[in-house]
A and B are shown apart, each in its own frame.
Chain A
Amino acid sequence: MQSPNIWQRSETGGRKMNKFAGYALCVLALGGMLGCDKQPPPPVPADVAPAAPPPVAAPAAAAPTRFTPPAESEIPQNEYGEMVLLGKNIFVNTQQHAKAYVGNGMNCANCHLDNGRKADSAPLWAAYVLYPAYRQKTRQVDTIQSRIQGCFLYSMNGKAPALDSKEMTALVTYHYWLAKGAPTGVKLPGQGYLKVAKPALTPDMARGRGVYENNCAICHGANGEGIKARDEYAFPPLWGKDSFNWGAGMHRVDTAAGFIQANMPYGLGGTLSDQEAWDVALFMNSHERPQDPRFKASVAQTRDTHHDENCLYGRTPEALAASIERTAEAADKAAAKPATEQVEGYSPALSH
Protein backbone atom coordinates (compact mmCIF):
# COMPACT_ATOMS: atom_id res chain seq x y z
CA MET A 1 0.00 0.00 0.00
CA GLN A 2 0.99 3.55 -0.67
CA SER A 3 2.06 5.35 2.45
CA PRO A 4 -0.87 7.72 2.97
CA ASN A 5 1.10 10.79 3.87
CA ILE A 6 2.62 10.88 0.41
CA TRP A 7 -0.71 12.23 -0.73
CA GLN A 8 -1.00 14.85 1.96
CA ARG A 9 0.21 18.38 1.57
CA SER A 10 2.92 19.18 4.08
CA GLU A 11 1.73 21.88 6.47
CA THR A 12 5.04 23.68 6.38
CA GLY A 13 5.46 23.31 2.65
CA GLY A 14 1.89 24.26 1.85
CA ARG A 15 1.42 26.69 -0.98
CA LYS A 16 4.55 28.64 -0.23
CA MET A 17 6.80 29.24 -3.14
CA ASN A 18 10.23 27.77 -2.98
CA LYS A 19 12.70 30.60 -2.75
CA PHE A 20 15.65 28.56 -3.92
CA ALA A 21 16.75 28.57 -0.31
CA GLY A 22 18.88 25.58 -1.07
CA TYR A 23 21.35 27.19 -3.46
CA ALA A 24 24.24 27.07 -1.07
CA LEU A 25 23.61 23.51 -0.01
CA CYS A 26 22.82 22.20 -3.44
CA VAL A 27 26.41 22.37 -4.52
CA LEU A 28 27.10 19.58 -2.07
CA ALA A 29 24.61 17.35 -3.78
CA LEU A 30 26.22 17.44 -7.17
CA GLY A 31 28.50 14.52 -6.51
CA GLY A 32 25.60 12.33 -7.51
CA MET A 33 25.69 10.41 -4.24
CA LEU A 34 22.96 12.25 -2.43
CA GLY A 35 19.80 10.87 -3.90
CA CYS A 36 19.94 12.19 -7.43
CA ASP A 37 18.03 9.41 -9.12
CA LYS A 38 19.18 7.90 -12.33
CA GLN A 39 16.32 7.15 -14.68
CA PRO A 40 15.36 3.54 -14.02
CA PRO A 41 13.92 1.36 -16.77
CA PRO A 42 10.30 1.75 -17.84
CA PRO A 43 7.56 -0.12 -16.01
CA VAL A 44 7.18 -3.21 -18.12
CA PRO A 45 5.31 -6.11 -16.57
CA ALA A 46 7.75 -8.98 -16.18
CA ASP A 47 5.58 -11.57 -17.88
CA VAL A 48 5.13 -9.75 -21.18
CA ALA A 49 7.59 -9.44 -24.02
CA PRO A 50 7.96 -5.69 -24.42
CA ALA A 51 8.84 -5.77 -28.11
CA ALA A 52 5.69 -7.58 -29.29
CA PRO A 53 4.11 -5.54 -32.09
CA PRO A 54 0.56 -4.38 -31.44
CA PRO A 55 -1.96 -6.66 -33.17
CA VAL A 56 -3.67 -3.56 -34.53
CA ALA A 57 -0.60 -2.81 -36.65
CA ALA A 58 -0.82 -3.33 -40.38
CA PRO A 59 0.29 -6.92 -41.07
CA ALA A 60 3.46 -6.38 -43.11
CA ALA A 61 4.41 -2.89 -41.91
CA ALA A 62 8.14 -2.56 -41.38
CA ALA A 63 7.95 0.53 -39.17
CA PRO A 64 5.71 0.16 -36.12
CA THR A 65 2.29 1.61 -36.87
CA ARG A 66 0.92 4.10 -34.42
CA PHE A 67 -2.03 2.95 -32.37
CA THR A 68 -5.16 4.95 -33.16
CA PRO A 69 -7.64 5.48 -30.33
CA PRO A 70 -11.36 5.34 -31.14
CA ALA A 71 -13.02 8.49 -32.49
CA GLU A 72 -15.11 10.57 -30.13
CA SER A 73 -18.21 9.80 -32.20
CA GLU A 74 -17.76 6.15 -31.19
CA ILE A 75 -18.50 6.80 -27.52
CA PRO A 76 -21.48 4.48 -26.87
CA GLN A 77 -24.86 5.99 -26.05
CA ASN A 78 -25.35 4.21 -22.73
CA GLU A 79 -24.35 4.38 -19.06
CA TYR A 80 -20.80 3.33 -19.87
CA GLY A 81 -20.59 6.00 -22.58
CA GLU A 82 -21.81 8.61 -20.13
CA MET A 83 -18.94 7.74 -17.80
CA VAL A 84 -16.46 7.96 -20.69
CA LEU A 85 -17.83 11.39 -21.50
CA LEU A 86 -17.63 12.57 -17.90
CA GLY A 87 -14.02 11.40 -17.81
CA LYS A 88 -13.28 13.30 -20.98
CA ASN A 89 -14.91 16.44 -19.62
CA ILE A 90 -12.89 16.20 -16.40
CA PHE A 91 -9.72 15.70 -18.41
CA VAL A 92 -10.37 18.62 -20.75
CA ASN A 93 -11.93 21.05 -18.29
CA THR A 94 -10.64 19.97 -14.91
CA GLN A 95 -11.18 23.48 -13.59
CA GLN A 96 -14.92 23.06 -13.96
CA HIS A 97 -15.57 19.34 -13.55
CA ALA A 98 -13.15 18.40 -10.76
CA LYS A 99 -12.71 21.79 -9.13
CA ALA A 100 -12.45 20.40 -5.59
CA TYR A 101 -9.24 18.56 -6.46
CA VAL A 102 -7.43 21.33 -8.33
CA GLY A 103 -5.18 23.93 -6.72
CA ASN A 104 -3.93 25.85 -9.76
CA GLY A 105 -5.09 27.12 -13.15
CA MET A 106 -4.38 23.94 -15.13
CA ASN A 107 -6.41 21.30 -16.94
CA CYS A 108 -5.14 17.76 -17.54
CA ALA A 109 -5.30 18.28 -21.31
CA ASN A 110 -2.90 21.24 -21.13
CA CYS A 111 0.01 18.79 -21.07
CA HIS A 112 -1.64 15.74 -22.65
CA LEU A 113 -2.66 17.34 -25.92
CA ASP A 114 -5.57 16.48 -28.18
CA ASN A 115 -7.59 15.49 -25.11
CA GLY A 116 -5.02 12.85 -24.15
CA ARG A 117 -4.73 11.38 -27.64
CA LYS A 118 -1.61 12.94 -29.11
CA ALA A 119 1.45 10.71 -29.47
CA ASP A 120 4.62 12.04 -27.76
CA SER A 121 2.38 14.00 -25.43
CA ALA A 122 2.02 11.18 -22.86
CA PRO A 123 -1.17 9.86 -24.50
CA LEU A 124 -3.64 8.08 -22.23
CA TRP A 125 -4.06 5.05 -24.51
CA ALA A 126 -0.37 4.28 -24.14
CA ALA A 127 -0.39 4.90 -20.39
CA TYR A 128 -3.39 2.74 -19.65
CA VAL A 129 -1.86 -0.48 -20.96
CA LEU A 130 1.39 -0.05 -18.96
CA TYR A 131 -0.15 -0.38 -15.52
CA PRO A 132 -0.09 -1.96 -12.98
CA ALA A 133 3.69 -1.81 -13.02
CA TYR A 134 6.50 -2.03 -10.54
CA ARG A 135 8.29 1.31 -10.31
CA GLN A 136 11.73 1.49 -8.76
CA LYS A 137 11.16 4.88 -7.27
CA THR A 138 8.08 3.91 -5.28
CA ARG A 139 9.39 0.37 -4.81
CA GLN A 140 5.95 -0.99 -5.30
CA VAL A 141 3.44 -1.92 -7.96
CA ASP A 142 1.64 1.26 -9.01
CA THR A 143 -1.74 1.33 -10.67
CA ILE A 144 -3.20 3.74 -13.22
CA GLN A 145 -5.24 5.13 -10.32
CA SER A 146 -2.19 5.99 -8.25
CA ARG A 147 -0.66 7.58 -11.34
CA ILE A 148 -3.77 9.75 -11.79
CA GLN A 149 -3.68 10.66 -8.11
CA GLY A 150 -0.11 11.79 -8.63
CA CYS A 151 -1.25 14.06 -11.47
CA PHE A 152 -3.71 15.79 -9.19
CA LEU A 153 -1.21 16.19 -6.39
CA TYR A 154 1.65 17.58 -8.49
CA SER A 155 0.63 18.75 -11.96
CA MET A 156 -2.67 20.13 -10.70
CA ASN A 157 -1.20 21.20 -7.34
CA GLY A 158 -4.35 19.86 -5.72
CA LYS A 159 -5.45 16.82 -3.80
CA ALA A 160 -5.94 13.23 -4.85
CA PRO A 161 -9.49 12.02 -5.51
CA ALA A 162 -10.29 8.86 -3.56
CA LEU A 163 -10.08 5.57 -5.44
CA ASP A 164 -13.85 5.13 -5.22
CA SER A 165 -14.74 8.72 -6.12
CA LYS A 166 -16.82 9.45 -9.17
CA GLU A 167 -14.02 11.57 -10.63
CA MET A 168 -11.54 8.67 -10.41
CA THR A 169 -13.98 6.20 -11.94
CA ALA A 170 -14.72 8.60 -14.80
CA LEU A 171 -11.05 9.31 -15.52
CA VAL A 172 -10.06 5.63 -15.47
CA THR A 173 -13.01 4.85 -17.75
CA TYR A 174 -11.87 7.51 -20.22
CA HIS A 175 -8.28 6.13 -20.19
CA TYR A 176 -9.61 2.60 -20.69
CA TRP A 177 -11.91 3.58 -23.55
CA LEU A 178 -9.11 5.42 -25.38
CA ALA A 179 -6.98 2.26 -25.16
CA LYS A 180 -9.67 0.12 -26.80
CA GLY A 181 -7.95 -2.57 -28.86
CA ALA A 182 -4.43 -1.72 -27.67
CA PRO A 183 -2.26 -4.63 -26.53
CA THR A 184 -1.85 -4.81 -22.77
CA GLY A 185 1.60 -4.58 -21.24
CA VAL A 186 3.26 -3.22 -24.37
CA LYS A 187 5.11 0.08 -24.55
CA LEU A 188 3.45 1.54 -27.64
CA PRO A 189 5.23 3.95 -29.99
CA GLY A 190 4.36 7.52 -28.96
CA GLN A 191 4.10 6.64 -25.24
CA GLY A 192 5.30 9.31 -22.80
CA TYR A 193 7.00 12.46 -23.99
CA LEU A 194 9.61 12.76 -26.66
CA LYS A 195 13.16 12.13 -25.49
CA VAL A 196 15.32 14.94 -26.81
CA ALA A 197 18.98 14.32 -27.44
CA LYS A 198 21.57 16.12 -25.36
CA PRO A 199 22.09 19.60 -26.79
CA ALA A 200 25.39 20.46 -28.47
CA LEU A 201 25.90 23.42 -26.14
CA THR A 202 25.31 23.47 -22.40
CA PRO A 203 21.74 24.75 -21.84
CA ASP A 204 21.86 28.47 -21.24
CA MET A 205 19.53 30.90 -19.47
CA ALA A 206 20.18 33.90 -21.70
CA ARG A 207 19.54 31.92 -24.88
CA GLY A 208 16.50 30.36 -23.22
CA ARG A 209 15.07 33.79 -22.46
CA GLY A 210 15.54 34.74 -26.10
CA VAL A 211 13.73 31.61 -27.29
CA TYR A 212 10.95 32.36 -24.83
CA GLU A 213 10.45 35.96 -25.93
CA ASN A 214 10.42 35.08 -29.63
CA ASN A 215 8.36 31.89 -29.52
CA CYS A 216 6.30 31.59 -26.36
CA ALA A 217 5.45 34.96 -24.78
CA ILE A 218 2.71 35.80 -27.28
CA CYS A 219 0.60 33.00 -25.76
CA HIS A 220 1.98 32.32 -22.29
CA GLY A 221 2.58 36.00 -21.38
CA ALA A 222 5.73 38.03 -20.85
CA ASN A 223 6.11 36.54 -17.37
CA GLY A 224 4.93 32.99 -17.98
CA GLU A 225 1.69 33.86 -16.23
CA GLY A 226 -0.58 32.58 -19.00
CA ILE A 227 -3.37 34.69 -20.54
CA LYS A 228 -6.97 34.70 -19.45
CA ALA A 229 -10.02 35.45 -21.56
CA ARG A 230 -13.24 36.16 -19.69
CA ASP A 231 -11.79 34.93 -16.39
CA GLU A 232 -10.59 31.54 -17.63
CA TYR A 233 -7.08 30.64 -18.71
CA ALA A 234 -7.04 30.54 -22.50
CA PHE A 235 -3.27 29.91 -22.40
CA PRO A 236 -2.03 28.05 -19.33
CA PRO A 237 0.61 29.51 -17.02
CA LEU A 238 4.13 28.07 -17.27
CA TRP A 239 5.26 29.19 -13.83
CA GLY A 240 4.00 31.11 -10.81
CA LYS A 241 1.22 30.32 -8.34
CA ASP A 242 -1.27 28.97 -10.90
CA SER A 243 1.13 26.56 -12.60
CA PHE A 244 2.23 22.98 -11.82
CA ASN A 245 4.23 22.53 -8.60
CA TRP A 246 7.81 21.53 -7.88
CA GLY A 247 6.89 17.86 -7.69
CA ALA A 248 5.35 17.67 -11.19
CA GLY A 249 7.09 15.78 -13.99
CA MET A 250 7.03 18.90 -16.17
CA HIS A 251 9.41 20.65 -13.77
CA ARG A 252 12.15 18.26 -14.91
CA VAL A 253 14.17 20.04 -17.58
CA ASP A 254 14.59 16.89 -19.68
CA THR A 255 10.85 16.11 -19.64
CA ALA A 256 9.94 19.74 -20.41
CA ALA A 257 12.46 19.87 -23.27
CA GLY A 258 10.86 16.77 -24.81
CA PHE A 259 7.33 18.11 -24.42
CA ILE A 260 8.27 21.49 -25.84
CA GLN A 261 10.24 20.12 -28.79
CA ALA A 262 7.34 17.92 -29.90
CA ASN A 263 4.43 20.25 -29.10
CA MET A 264 5.40 23.91 -28.76
CA PRO A 265 4.94 26.57 -30.03
CA TYR A 266 1.38 25.30 -30.16
CA GLY A 267 0.56 24.20 -33.70
CA LEU A 268 4.24 24.40 -34.68
CA GLY A 269 5.51 21.30 -32.86
CA GLY A 270 8.86 19.99 -34.07
CA THR A 271 10.09 23.37 -35.34
CA LEU A 272 12.40 24.28 -32.45
CA SER A 273 15.86 22.75 -32.50
CA ASP A 274 16.82 20.38 -29.67
CA GLN A 275 19.13 23.11 -28.42
CA GLU A 276 16.32 25.68 -28.32
CA ALA A 277 14.05 23.22 -26.54
CA TRP A 278 16.62 22.60 -23.79
CA ASP A 279 17.46 26.28 -23.44
CA VAL A 280 13.84 27.35 -23.09
CA ALA A 281 13.01 24.41 -20.79
CA LEU A 282 15.84 25.51 -18.49
CA PHE A 283 14.60 29.11 -18.58
CA MET A 284 10.97 28.10 -17.95
CA ASN A 285 11.76 25.82 -15.03
CA SER A 286 14.14 28.27 -13.38
CA HIS A 287 11.14 30.29 -12.20
CA GLU A 288 9.11 30.05 -9.02
CA ARG A 289 6.19 27.70 -8.70
CA PRO A 290 4.17 26.16 -5.85
CA GLN A 291 6.10 24.13 -3.29
CA ASP A 292 6.67 20.40 -3.70
CA PRO A 293 3.95 18.80 -1.54
CA ARG A 294 6.56 16.30 -0.32
CA PHE A 295 8.51 19.17 1.24
CA LYS A 296 9.96 18.20 4.61
CA ALA A 297 12.20 20.23 6.87
CA SER A 298 14.31 21.98 4.22
CA VAL A 299 14.66 22.53 0.52
CA ALA A 300 17.98 20.69 0.59
CA GLN A 301 16.51 17.63 2.27
CA THR A 302 13.51 17.58 -0.07
CA ARG A 303 15.77 17.98 -3.05
CA ASP A 304 18.07 15.20 -1.96
CA THR A 305 15.20 12.81 -1.31
CA HIS A 306 13.05 13.51 -4.34
CA HIS A 307 14.95 15.41 -7.04
CA ASP A 308 17.73 14.49 -9.43
CA GLU A 309 20.14 16.28 -11.73
CA ASN A 310 17.35 17.25 -14.14
CA CYS A 311 15.49 19.23 -11.48
CA LEU A 312 16.00 22.90 -10.67
CA TYR A 313 14.52 22.42 -7.22
CA GLY A 314 17.09 23.85 -4.86
CA ARG A 315 19.66 23.99 -7.63
CA THR A 316 20.86 26.95 -9.70
CA PRO A 317 20.35 26.89 -13.47
CA GLU A 318 24.12 27.05 -13.88
CA ALA A 319 24.68 24.04 -11.62
CA LEU A 320 22.00 22.09 -13.43
CA ALA A 321 23.39 22.95 -16.85
CA ALA A 322 26.83 21.79 -15.74
CA SER A 323 25.47 18.52 -14.36
CA ILE A 324 23.55 17.84 -17.58
CA GLU A 325 26.83 18.29 -19.40
CA ARG A 326 28.56 15.74 -17.16
CA THR A 327 25.68 13.28 -17.46
CA ALA A 328 25.75 13.61 -21.23
CA GLU A 329 29.48 12.92 -21.32
CA ALA A 330 28.98 9.82 -19.24
CA ALA A 331 26.14 8.74 -21.54
CA ASP A 332 28.36 9.28 -24.57
CA LYS A 333 30.91 6.90 -23.10
CA ALA A 334 28.20 4.38 -22.28
CA ALA A 335 26.85 4.70 -25.83
CA ALA A 336 30.07 3.21 -27.15
CA LYS A 337 28.60 -0.20 -26.33
CA PRO A 338 25.39 -1.42 -28.01
CA ALA A 339 22.50 0.82 -27.01
CA THR A 340 20.10 -0.58 -24.47
CA GLU A 341 16.43 0.16 -25.10
CA GLN A 342 15.82 3.88 -24.75
CA VAL A 343 13.14 5.01 -22.38
CA GLU A 344 11.04 7.59 -24.16
CA GLY A 345 10.63 10.40 -21.69
CA TYR A 346 9.12 8.14 -19.10
CA SER A 347 9.88 9.36 -15.64
CA PRO A 348 9.40 6.65 -13.13
CA ALA A 349 10.39 9.04 -10.38
CA LEU A 350 7.77 9.51 -7.70
CA SER A 351 7.44 13.01 -9.10
CA HIS A 352 4.52 12.94 -11.48
Chain B
Amino acid sequence: MRSFVSHTFTAVVVMAASSAAAAPPSIITQGNGAALACASCHGVDGAGNAPSGFPALAQLPPAYFAKQIADFKAGTRTHPVMTPIAQAMSVEDAESSARHYASQPHPKAGASTADPAVIARGRNLAINGAWGRQVPPCFKCHAADGLGVAPAFPPIAGQHATYTVSQLQAWKTGARTNDPQTLMKVVAENLSEEDIHAVAEYLATLGNRGKENE
Protein backbone atom coordinates (compact mmCIF):
# COMPACT_ATOMS: atom_id res chain seq x y z
CA MET B 1 0.00 0.00 0.00
CA ARG B 2 2.70 2.39 1.05
CA SER B 3 4.78 1.72 -2.04
CA PHE B 4 1.70 2.12 -4.22
CA VAL B 5 1.03 5.51 -2.66
CA SER B 6 4.59 6.66 -3.09
CA HIS B 7 4.67 5.41 -6.66
CA THR B 8 1.52 7.29 -7.46
CA PHE B 9 2.94 10.34 -5.81
CA THR B 10 6.14 10.13 -7.83
CA ALA B 11 4.14 9.68 -11.00
CA VAL B 12 2.05 12.75 -10.26
CA VAL B 13 5.12 14.84 -9.57
CA VAL B 14 6.76 13.67 -12.77
CA MET B 15 3.64 14.41 -14.79
CA ALA B 16 3.26 17.84 -13.27
CA ALA B 17 6.91 18.66 -13.92
CA SER B 18 6.77 17.42 -17.49
CA SER B 19 3.56 19.30 -18.30
CA ALA B 20 5.04 22.50 -16.88
CA ALA B 21 8.06 22.04 -19.07
CA ALA B 22 6.08 20.78 -22.08
CA ALA B 23 6.61 22.67 -25.30
CA PRO B 24 3.55 24.66 -26.37
CA PRO B 25 1.43 22.91 -29.03
CA SER B 26 2.39 23.75 -32.60
CA ILE B 27 -0.86 25.62 -33.27
CA ILE B 28 0.40 28.21 -30.77
CA THR B 29 3.91 28.60 -32.14
CA GLN B 30 3.57 27.69 -35.83
CA GLY B 31 -0.07 27.64 -36.75
CA ASN B 32 -1.37 24.83 -38.96
CA GLY B 33 -0.72 26.12 -42.45
CA ALA B 34 -4.14 27.72 -42.87
CA ALA B 35 -4.40 29.27 -39.39
CA LEU B 36 -1.81 31.78 -38.20
CA ALA B 37 0.14 30.89 -35.07
CA CYS B 38 -1.85 32.04 -32.00
CA ALA B 39 1.35 33.42 -30.52
CA SER B 40 1.78 35.93 -33.31
CA CYS B 41 -0.91 38.09 -31.71
CA HIS B 42 -1.51 36.64 -28.24
CA GLY B 43 2.06 35.62 -27.35
CA VAL B 44 3.16 32.17 -26.26
CA ASP B 45 2.38 33.23 -22.70
CA GLY B 46 -1.08 34.56 -23.62
CA ALA B 47 -0.29 38.12 -22.55
CA GLY B 48 -1.79 39.61 -25.71
CA ASN B 49 -0.85 43.07 -26.89
CA ALA B 50 -2.36 46.24 -25.51
CA PRO B 51 -1.64 48.78 -28.29
CA SER B 52 -3.01 46.46 -30.98
CA GLY B 53 -6.01 45.44 -28.89
CA PHE B 54 -5.12 41.73 -28.92
CA PRO B 55 -6.60 40.26 -25.73
CA ALA B 56 -4.74 38.43 -23.01
CA LEU B 57 -5.78 34.76 -23.09
CA ALA B 58 -3.84 33.42 -20.12
CA GLN B 59 -6.08 31.74 -17.51
CA LEU B 60 -9.19 31.69 -19.68
CA PRO B 61 -11.32 28.71 -18.59
CA PRO B 62 -10.93 26.04 -21.35
CA ALA B 63 -14.71 25.75 -21.75
CA TYR B 64 -15.05 29.51 -22.30
CA PHE B 65 -12.11 29.46 -24.74
CA ALA B 66 -13.57 26.56 -26.72
CA LYS B 67 -16.98 28.27 -26.89
CA GLN B 68 -15.45 31.44 -28.36
CA ILE B 69 -13.62 29.48 -31.07
CA ALA B 70 -16.81 27.54 -31.82
CA ASP B 71 -18.80 30.79 -32.00
CA PHE B 72 -16.29 32.36 -34.39
CA LYS B 73 -16.59 29.24 -36.55
CA ALA B 74 -20.37 29.29 -36.47
CA GLY B 75 -20.56 33.04 -37.12
CA THR B 76 -22.33 33.79 -33.83
CA ARG B 77 -19.29 35.89 -32.95
CA THR B 78 -17.42 37.67 -35.72
CA HIS B 79 -14.08 39.40 -36.09
CA PRO B 80 -12.19 40.14 -39.33
CA VAL B 81 -9.00 38.46 -38.09
CA MET B 82 -10.31 35.76 -35.76
CA THR B 83 -13.15 34.40 -37.90
CA PRO B 84 -10.94 32.96 -40.67
CA ILE B 85 -8.41 31.69 -38.14
CA ALA B 86 -11.06 29.89 -36.11
CA GLN B 87 -12.52 28.41 -39.29
CA ALA B 88 -9.12 26.94 -40.11
CA MET B 89 -8.67 25.44 -36.63
CA SER B 90 -9.42 21.78 -36.00
CA VAL B 91 -11.19 20.60 -32.84
CA GLU B 92 -7.79 19.35 -31.70
CA ASP B 93 -6.22 22.79 -32.30
CA ALA B 94 -8.96 24.46 -30.26
CA GLU B 95 -8.54 22.01 -27.39
CA SER B 96 -4.76 22.14 -27.25
CA SER B 97 -4.62 25.93 -27.43
CA ALA B 98 -7.33 26.21 -24.75
CA ARG B 99 -5.34 23.91 -22.46
CA HIS B 100 -2.12 25.75 -23.11
CA TYR B 101 -3.43 29.24 -22.38
CA ALA B 102 -5.42 28.09 -19.33
CA SER B 103 -2.13 26.91 -17.83
CA GLN B 104 -0.24 30.16 -18.37
CA PRO B 105 0.18 32.47 -15.37
CA HIS B 106 -1.88 35.62 -15.15
CA PRO B 107 -0.22 38.38 -17.23
CA LYS B 108 1.61 41.28 -15.62
CA ALA B 109 -0.02 44.70 -15.78
CA GLY B 110 1.88 47.52 -17.42
CA ALA B 111 2.08 50.83 -15.57
CA SER B 112 -1.17 52.77 -16.04
CA THR B 113 -1.12 56.29 -17.40
CA ALA B 114 -4.81 56.87 -16.68
CA ASP B 115 -6.03 59.66 -14.42
CA PRO B 116 -6.41 58.37 -10.82
CA ALA B 117 -9.95 59.81 -10.69
CA VAL B 118 -10.87 57.69 -13.71
CA ILE B 119 -9.37 54.60 -12.07
CA ALA B 120 -11.31 55.35 -8.88
CA ARG B 121 -14.55 55.64 -10.82
CA GLY B 122 -13.84 52.34 -12.56
CA ARG B 123 -12.97 50.66 -9.29
CA ASN B 124 -16.25 51.75 -7.75
CA LEU B 125 -18.18 50.34 -10.71
CA ALA B 126 -16.30 47.04 -10.55
CA ILE B 127 -16.88 46.61 -6.82
CA ASN B 128 -20.25 48.29 -6.21
CA GLY B 129 -21.87 48.65 -9.61
CA ALA B 130 -24.44 51.40 -10.08
CA TRP B 131 -27.78 49.85 -9.20
CA GLY B 132 -29.59 53.14 -9.73
CA ARG B 133 -28.87 52.53 -13.42
CA GLN B 134 -29.28 48.76 -13.21
CA VAL B 135 -25.54 48.15 -13.43
CA PRO B 136 -24.46 45.21 -11.26
CA PRO B 137 -20.87 45.12 -9.95
CA CYS B 138 -18.44 43.38 -12.38
CA PHE B 139 -16.93 41.46 -9.49
CA LYS B 140 -20.16 39.71 -8.50
CA CYS B 141 -20.02 37.56 -11.63
CA HIS B 142 -16.29 37.63 -12.43
CA ALA B 143 -15.35 36.89 -8.77
CA ALA B 144 -14.22 39.31 -6.08
CA ASP B 145 -10.68 39.30 -7.49
CA GLY B 146 -11.85 39.72 -11.10
CA LEU B 147 -10.10 36.50 -12.06
CA GLY B 148 -13.24 34.84 -13.32
CA VAL B 149 -15.53 31.98 -12.31
CA ALA B 150 -15.10 28.89 -14.45
CA PRO B 151 -16.59 27.68 -16.67
CA ALA B 152 -18.69 30.56 -17.99
CA PHE B 153 -17.25 33.80 -16.56
CA PRO B 154 -13.80 34.77 -17.90
CA PRO B 155 -11.13 36.68 -15.99
CA ILE B 156 -11.36 40.42 -16.61
CA ALA B 157 -8.70 41.65 -14.15
CA GLY B 158 -5.51 42.47 -16.02
CA GLN B 159 -7.16 42.53 -19.44
CA HIS B 160 -5.93 45.29 -21.74
CA ALA B 161 -8.13 48.39 -21.54
CA THR B 162 -8.36 48.70 -25.33
CA TYR B 163 -9.80 45.21 -25.59
CA THR B 164 -12.26 45.60 -22.70
CA VAL B 165 -13.51 48.87 -24.20
CA SER B 166 -13.97 47.28 -27.62
CA GLN B 167 -16.00 44.37 -26.23
CA LEU B 168 -18.26 46.52 -24.04
CA GLN B 169 -18.91 48.76 -27.02
CA ALA B 170 -19.59 45.74 -29.21
CA TRP B 171 -22.22 44.48 -26.76
CA LYS B 172 -23.71 47.92 -26.47
CA THR B 173 -24.10 48.35 -30.22
CA GLY B 174 -25.17 44.76 -30.79
CA ALA B 175 -22.02 43.82 -32.75
CA ARG B 176 -21.26 41.06 -30.23
CA THR B 177 -24.17 38.86 -29.17
CA ASN B 178 -22.73 35.56 -27.95
CA ASP B 179 -23.11 36.28 -24.22
CA PRO B 180 -25.30 33.81 -22.34
CA GLN B 181 -28.79 35.09 -21.45
CA THR B 182 -27.87 38.61 -22.72
CA LEU B 183 -26.07 39.14 -19.41
CA MET B 184 -23.35 41.37 -20.89
CA LYS B 185 -25.62 43.12 -23.38
CA VAL B 186 -27.78 44.47 -20.56
CA VAL B 187 -24.78 45.56 -18.50
CA ALA B 188 -23.13 47.31 -21.47
CA GLU B 189 -26.33 49.06 -22.51
CA ASN B 190 -26.56 50.64 -19.07
CA LEU B 191 -22.95 51.86 -19.10
CA SER B 192 -22.02 55.31 -20.44
CA GLU B 193 -18.94 55.77 -22.62
CA GLU B 194 -17.18 57.28 -19.60
CA ASP B 195 -18.12 54.28 -17.46
CA ILE B 196 -16.74 51.93 -20.11
CA HIS B 197 -13.38 53.68 -20.27
CA ALA B 198 -13.14 54.04 -16.50
CA VAL B 199 -13.85 50.42 -15.73
CA ALA B 200 -11.56 49.17 -18.50
CA GLU B 201 -8.69 51.33 -17.23
CA TYR B 202 -9.22 50.09 -13.68
CA LEU B 203 -9.32 46.42 -14.71
CA ALA B 204 -6.12 46.84 -16.70
CA THR B 205 -4.29 47.85 -13.51
CA LEU B 206 -5.07 44.48 -11.91
CA GLY B 207 -2.46 42.33 -13.58
CA ASN B 208 -0.37 39.63 -12.02
CA ARG B 209 -2.01 39.08 -8.70
CA GLY B 210 -4.37 36.55 -7.27
CA LYS B 211 -5.84 38.78 -4.59
CA GLU B 212 -6.10 42.54 -4.12
CA ASN B 213 -3.34 42.67 -1.53
CA GLU B 214 -0.84 40.12 -2.80
Given the complex, which residues of A lie within 8 Å of B180, measured CB to CB? 218
Q: Are B182 and A268 in contact (CB under 8 A)?
A: yes
Cβ-based interface call for A323 (8 A): no
Cβ-based interface call for B25 (8 A): no
Given the complex, which residues of A lie within 8 Å of B129, measured CB to CB? 114
Please, which residue of chain B has its CB at the minimum distance from the CB of A268? B186
Please, which residue of chain B has its CB at the minimum distance from the CB of A266? B136
Given the complex, which residues of B lie within 8 Å of A232, measured CB to CB? 144
Q: Bin the interface of chain A by size.
A: 20 to 34
Given the complex, which residues of B lie within 8 Å of A72, measured CB to CB? 128
Q: Are A234 and B143 in contact (CB under 8 A)?
A: yes
Contact A266 to B141, CB < 8 A, known contacts A227-B149, A230-B147, A235-B149: yes
B158 to chain A, nearest CB (A): 15
Q: Which of A113, A214, A235, A268 interacts with B131 by CB under 8 Å?
A: A113
Cβ-based interface call for A118 (8 A): yes
Q: Is the interface of A mostly helix, strand, loop or mixed?
A: mixed
Within 260-287 of A, Cβ neighbours of B (below 8 Å) are at 265-269
Q: Are B181 and A218 in contact (CB under 8 A)?
A: yes
B94 to chain A, nearest CB (A): 21
Task: Give Cα A115 to B183, complex, Å.
Answer: 21
Within 196-215 of A, Cβ neighbours of B (below 8 Å) are at 214-215
Q: Are A267 and B144 in contact (CB under 8 A)?
A: no
Q: Are A234 and B144 in contact (CB under 8 A)?
A: yes
Cβ-based interface call for B187 (8 A): yes
Q: Are B140 and A266 in contact (CB under 8 A)?
A: yes
Bitwise, A109-152 to B at CB < 8 A (1) or not (0) is 00001110110000000000000000000000000000000000
B172 to chain A, nearest CB (A): 15
Bitwise, A5-41 to B at CB < 8 A (1) or not (0) is 0000000000000000000000000000000000000
Bitwise, B11-46 to A at CB < 8 A (1) or not (0) is 000000000000000000000000000000000000
Cβ-based interface call for B50 (8 A): no
Q: Are A265 and B149 in contact (CB under 8 A)?
A: no
Given the complex, which residues of B lie within 8 Å of A219, measured CB to CB? 141, 152
Within 225-248 of A, Cβ neighbours of B (below 8 Å) are at 227, 229-230, 232, 234-235
Q: Which of A215, A234, A267, A269 interacts with B149 by CB under 8 Å?
A: A234
Please, which residue of chain B has its CB at the minimum distance from the CB of A232? B144
Given the complex, which residues of A lie within 8 Å of B153, measured CB to CB? 234
Cβ-based interface call for B145 (8 A): yes
A219 to chain B, nearest CB (A): 7
Cβ-based interface call for B148 (8 A): yes
Q: Which of A117, A215, A218, A265 interacts with B152 by CB under 8 Å?
A: A218
Q: Are B131 and A118 in contact (CB under 8 A)?
A: yes
Select the residue from B141, B149, B153, B180 with max chain A CB neighbours within 10 A: B149
Binding site for B on A (CB under 8 A): 72, 113-115, 117-118, 214-215, 218-219, 227, 229-230, 232, 234-235, 265-269
Contacts A218-B152, A267-B183 known; 15 new A-B pairs at CB < 8 A: A72-B128, A114-B128, A114-B131, A214-B181, A218-B180, A227-B149, A229-B145, A229-B147, A229-B150, A230-B145, A232-B144, A234-B153, A265-B181, A265-B183, A267-B187
Please name the 10 residue pairs, one residue from A and one from B, whose CB atoms are nearest each other, closest first: A229-B143, A267-B136, A234-B149, A229-B149, A114-B131, A234-B143, A218-B152, A218-B180, A227-B149, A118-B131
